[in-house]
């Protein structure tokens, strides 16, 4: 069972992965009773002195107070000579809470700064849950001392669980690569299940590495991976007020510092980082509210990459495509309609549609080799790949989504109350 009493997604991995300990990062979780009693709902993460921090946040014009605060703090730069911290709560998004929203952020980050002897400008925060309710921040303040006392290197799995809302499983991903002179470790946790159509990053994601990376390069490595990871997933086309991805590098690895992202060591780091980001993004889709199918939509041959993105997202967000997938119906006509509405340049007579390796449609017409029985059999898989080639140019984009089922309606028709 997930934290909210929902059955675990059939697309969940068998187990939470073994995350490597990132030296210089410690976690603690506590139950503050923000929305429910008896569940861990606050997480504190301490990041060692000398680390660098990068972040990406939602572009929603109604973004939450903590997002605005994080953005203001990171605008001062990503160096953390005295260290940094992140305090996260679930159960309440502290979004659309007026001036009181910022007061809550100040109270919570101020308390953490004092307890950990950090500048308040290096204490970041995230809140996820209901929008528009005041954050009962006194409940968080009441557990700060316990959190500080409980900080431990191996606390990431508990933290991944504490940040869940309608998630049905905790999400983590990691990579270990050979740096110059020693290994570099990257580990991240994420939450997200509904209100997933990220516009910069998704719900809450925290990634840590022991690599030594200057703040500007860290930010650059993060941003260059967004479009192919978190900005390439959608559960329900709804963008959250609270999307946040924070990345910290502690520099505690024995490996030589990363000083150039174009050099082999830098490229290997970026590739591993993006791999971890992609895996976390996929886990969010696998826990999409009500999801029973994990769907890759790969668009090629578009006039531009922007067009490929439009087409891929039009398909991945189409309620008619997603309900057909839920029903195991190889209804590729709905993919044609989604291509048509996308706003991207498209030519009916150059369009090719594949399910897995099967060509269903080509040259503006059902493929001669089309086999309804085989297509229907393919749709029974839990993991599907829809390929669309527009036959126009070199633009390509792959995105990931899930199906739209009765489970989504069950979860969302009465989530708040």
* CB neighbours of residue 224 within 10 Å: 13
Question: Would you say 376 or 394 has its CB closer to a copy of itself?
Answer: 376
Q: Give the residue with the Cβ less far from a copy of itself, 137 or 274.
A: 137
Q: Which is nearer to a copy of itself, 39 or 366 (CB)?
A: 366
CB of 281 to a copy of itself, least distance (A): 18
255's enclosing H/E stretch is none
Catalytic residue of the set 202, 234, 241, 352: 202
Contact call for residues 57 and 70 (beta carbons, < 8 A):
yes
Tell me the closest approach of the beta carbon of residue 329 to a copy of itself, in angstroms.
5
Alpha-carbon dihedral angle through residues 398, 404, 405, 406, given to the nearest 10 degrees = 150
Q: How many helices (H) and strands (E) does the chain have?
A: 12, 16
Is residue 202 part of the annotated active site? The answer reads yes
In angstroms, give the least distance from the CB of 96 to a copy of itself: 4
β-sheet bridge partners, residue 176: 185
Contact 51, 249 (CB under 8 A): yes
What's the min distance (Å) between Cβ of 203 and a copy of itself? 12
What is the C-alpha separation between 64 and 243, in angstroms, rounded?
Answer: 9
CA distances from 76 to 43, 54, 176, 216 (A): 24, 11, 30, 12
Residue number, 267 or 341, with CB nearest to a copy of itself: 341
Whole-number Å distance between alpha carbons of 206 and 25: 11
Distance CA 261, CA 215 (A): 12
Q: CB neighbours of 176 closer than 8 A, spacing ≥ 6?
A: 20, 183, 184, 185, 186
Judged by CB, which is closer to a copy of itself: 16, or 96?
A: 96
Q: In what order do the strands lie in the sheet with 383-389?
A: 365-366, 358-362, 352-355, 383-389, 294-302, 395-402
Q: How far is the CB of 154 from a copy of itself (least distance, A)?
A: 35
Q: Which residue in 295, 312, 316 sits closest to 304, CA to CA?
A: 312
Q: Write down the H helix ranges in 198-263.
A: 215-226
Kindly tell me which of 240 and 300 has the beta carbon lying closer to a copy of itself: 240
How many degrees, rounded to 5, is the angle at CA 404 between CA 402 and CA 408?
110
Distance in Å, CB of 412 to a copy of itself, minimum? 4
Among candidate residues 82, 88, 48, the one with its CA nearest the CA of residue 70: 88
Crossing angle of helices 264-286 and 215-226, in 10° steps, is 50
Nearer to a copy of itself, 194 or 225 (CB): 194
Pick the closer one to a copy of itself by CB: 233 or 258: 233
To a copy of itself, the closest distance from the beta carbon of 224 in angstroms equals 23
Least distance in angstroms from the C-beta of 212 to a copy of itself: 37
Three-class secondary structure of residue 404 per DSSP: coil
Please give the sequence-ordered ranges of beta strands (E in DSSP) within 239-382, or none if there are none: 244-249, 294-302, 352-355, 358-362, 365-366
Which residues are known catalytic residues?
202
């Amino acid at each position: 069972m997930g934290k909210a009493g929902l059955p675990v997604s059939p697309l969940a991995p068998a187990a939470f992965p073994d995350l490597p300990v990132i030296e210089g990062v410690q976690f603690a979780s506590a139950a503050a009773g923000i929305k429910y009693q008896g569940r861990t709902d606050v997480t504190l993460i301490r990041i060692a002195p000398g680390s660098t921090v990068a972040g990406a946040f939602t572009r929603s014009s109604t973004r939450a107070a903590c997002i605005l605060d994080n953005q203001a703090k990171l605008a001062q730069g990503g160096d953390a000579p005295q260290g940094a911290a992140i305090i996260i709560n679930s159960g309440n998004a502290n979004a659309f809470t007026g001036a009181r929203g910022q007061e809550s952020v100040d109270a919570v980050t101020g308390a953490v700064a004092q307890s950990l002897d950090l500048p308040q400008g290096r204490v970041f925060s995230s809140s996820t849950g209901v929008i528009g309710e005041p954050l009962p921040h006194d409940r968080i303040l009441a557990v700060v001392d316990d959190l500080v006392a409980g900080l431990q290197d191996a606390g990431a799995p508990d933290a991944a669980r504490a940040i869940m809302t309608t998630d049905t499983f905790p999400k983590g991903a990691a990579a270990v690569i050979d740096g110059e002179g020693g290994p570099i470790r990257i580990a991240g946790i994420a939450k997200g299940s509904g209100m997933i159509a990220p516009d910069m990053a998704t719900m809450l994601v925290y990634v840590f590495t022991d690599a030594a990376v200057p703040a500007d390069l860290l930010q650059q490595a993060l941003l260059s991976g967004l479009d192919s990871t978190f900005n390439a997933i959608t559960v329900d086309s709804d963008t959250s007020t609270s999307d946040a991805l924070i990345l910290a590098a502690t520099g505690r690895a024995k490996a030589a510092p990363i000083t150039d992202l174009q050099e082999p060591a830098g490229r290997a780091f970026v590739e591993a980082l993006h791999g971890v980001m992609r895996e976390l993004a996929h886990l969010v889709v696998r826990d999409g509210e009500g999801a029973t199918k994990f769907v890759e939509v790969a668009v090629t041959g578009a006039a531009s990459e922007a067009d490929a993105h439009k087409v891929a997202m039009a398909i991945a967000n189409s309620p008619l495509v997603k309900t057909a997938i839920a029903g195991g119906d190889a209804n590729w006509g709905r993919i044609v309609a989604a291509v048509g509405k996308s706003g991207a340049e498209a030519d009916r007579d150059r369009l090719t549609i594949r399910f897995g390796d099967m060509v269903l449609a080509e040259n503006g017409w059902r493929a001669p080799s089309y086999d309804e029985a085989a297509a229907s059999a393919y749709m029974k898989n839990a993991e599907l790949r829809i390929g669309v080639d527009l036959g126009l140019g070199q633009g390509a984009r792959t995105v990931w989504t899930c199906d739209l089922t009765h489970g989504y309606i069950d979860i969302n028709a009465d989530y708040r109350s």
